[in-house]
Structure 1
Amino acid sequence: MPHISQAGAVNIEYSHFPIGELWEPGFERRDNRPDLQTSEAVVVAPGRIIVRSRVQEHTAPVVLALSGQQGQAPGAGWELIASVAYQPVHAGRMAAFDTTNGPARSASEAVRVFGQQVAPGEATIDLDPSRTYDVQVWAQGRSDSRERFEDAAPGADTEDASELEAYLIVFTPSGTQEPPPQAASESRRDRLARSHGKPPLNAR
């Protein structure tokens, strides 16, 4: 049985949202700007999996899961939209995020996946940073979400239109890797010297 997060809700803007690995103190920050010019439904960058919605702006329920069985369908109405590879770059704690406003909030209602009702709450899951993962991104309502959005009354509020799309992101271990190393501790003087080319006058 997969380990399943609670059901969060992401505020989608610009037709995409990230599933991101939470940076933790002691780990090097990574440049994780994705290439959003692609036509792919899902884009991977270091520490992030970017899901591209078919709707410009709306709210969508999101559930994360960790499964030992790849390709297990989560239930009726779910469509597999992409399979990608992911390797943790920090400590492996994944979360669903709004496009611009931080971690997802709790969903307004339960989401049914793998035969169970997933209660609203925090959409986070812990991966093993010494493993690599195959990731399957499943969706509900995506096939005609744009058409339903465009058919809505002009000026309709879509912020809570969670019936447009819902997403399930399933991680399955695929191999092993060296766990990402923690960065060596650095003094404030050394950090300023690295950032500016030399220490500040009062630290020389």
Structure 2
Amino acid sequence: MPHISRVGAVDIEYSHFPVGELWESGFERREAKPDFRTEEPVVVVPGQIVVTSRVQEHRAPVVLAVNDRAGEAPGPAWVLLTSVDYQPIYTGRMAAFDTMNGTASGATAPVEVFGRHAEPGEPIVDLNPARTYRVQVWAQGRAGARERFDSAAQREERDGADVFESYVVVFVPSGTQEPPQPVRVESRRERLARQHGKPPLNMR
């Protein structure tokens, strides 16, 4: 049975939002700079899967899931946007983020995913860092989202509760890897020995 997160509402700005791995203390922080010049709907960089939206600025419900069955749709109304590869770089704790403001907050209503209701809350799942994953991004409402947004804006009827797009991001185990390891902390003696060629007299 798929493991599903709670459903969050990501604040999308500049037509994209990330699903990213939470950095853990002790690991070397990896910098991620997505290239938005691509026409691909999903961009993968170390530690992040960045989903592009067809609407410039809005709030979208997002659920994360881990499923052993590849290609299983979250439900009949969900359309597969794309599949990409991802490998954990820290401990595998994934969350959906606002474009600019950190982890997404809870949505206002449940979303049905894999025959169950994902209740509002933080959208977080734990991956196994010793595995690699094929990630399937599913969407609802995306095909006509921009047109509906523009129409609402022209009629001055836009409501902050309007839902133009919804997403389910499913992680399917695909292989194995050496799990990422935290950086070993260098002792004061080791640091001084490295800097001066040998440890201080009182540490020999």
**TM-score normalised by structure 1 residue count:** 0.89
Superposition deviation, residue 73 in structure 1: 1.1
CA distance in 1, matches of 2:60, 2:39: 21
Aligned residue number for residue 185 of structure 2? 185
- Which amino acid in 2 is paired with 1:108? T
Larger radius of gyration: 2
Distance 1:85 1:158, change over 3 A: farther
Q: Number of residue pairs matched?
A: 191
Q: How does 1:32-51 map to 2 (within 5 A)?
A: 32-51=32-51
Q: Percent identity among equivalent residues?
A: 60
CA deviation vs aligned residue, 1:3-28 (integer Å, no higher than 9, x gap): 00000110000000000000000101
- Secondary structure in 2 matching 1:143: coil
Superposition deviation, residue 185 in structure 1: 1.4
- Which amino acid in 2 is paired with 1:177? Q
Aligned residue number for residue 168 of structure 1? 168
Superposition deviation, residue 77 in structure 1: 1.4
Distance 1:49 1:115, change over 3 A: same
Check conservation: 1:57, 1:158, Cα contact below 8 A: no
CA distance in 2, matches of 1:33, 1:79: 27
CA distance in 2, matches of 1:187, 1:124: 35
Distance 1:75 1:153, change over 3 A: same
- Secondary structure in 2 matching 1:151: helix
CA distance in 2, matches of 1:63, 1:76: 16
Check conservation: 1:4, 1:64, Cα contact below 8 A: yes
Distance 1:172 1:64, change over 3 A: same
Superposition deviation, residue 159 in structure 1: 3.9
Query: In the alignment, does 2:15 pair up with 1:21?
Result: no
Check conservation: 2:152, 2:158, Cα contact below 8 A: no
Check conservation: 2:8, 2:120, Cα contact below 8 A: yes
Alignment RMSD, CA only?
1.9
Distance 1:14 1:186, change over 3 A: farther
- Which amino acid in 2 is paired with 1:62? V
Superposition deviation, residue 122 in structure 1: 1.3
CA distance in 2, matches of 1:18, 1:49: 6
Aligned residue number for residue 128 of structure 2? 128
Check conservation: 1:140, 1:166, Cα contact below 8 A: yes
Aligned residue number for residue 97 of structure 2? 97
- Secondary structure in 2 matching 1:133: strand
CA distance in 1, matches of 2:56, 2:161: 14
CA deviation vs aligned residue, 1:68-114 (integer Å, no higher than 9, x gap): 00000111210000100000000000000000000000000000111
Check conservation: 2:132, 2:173, Cα contact below 8 A: yes
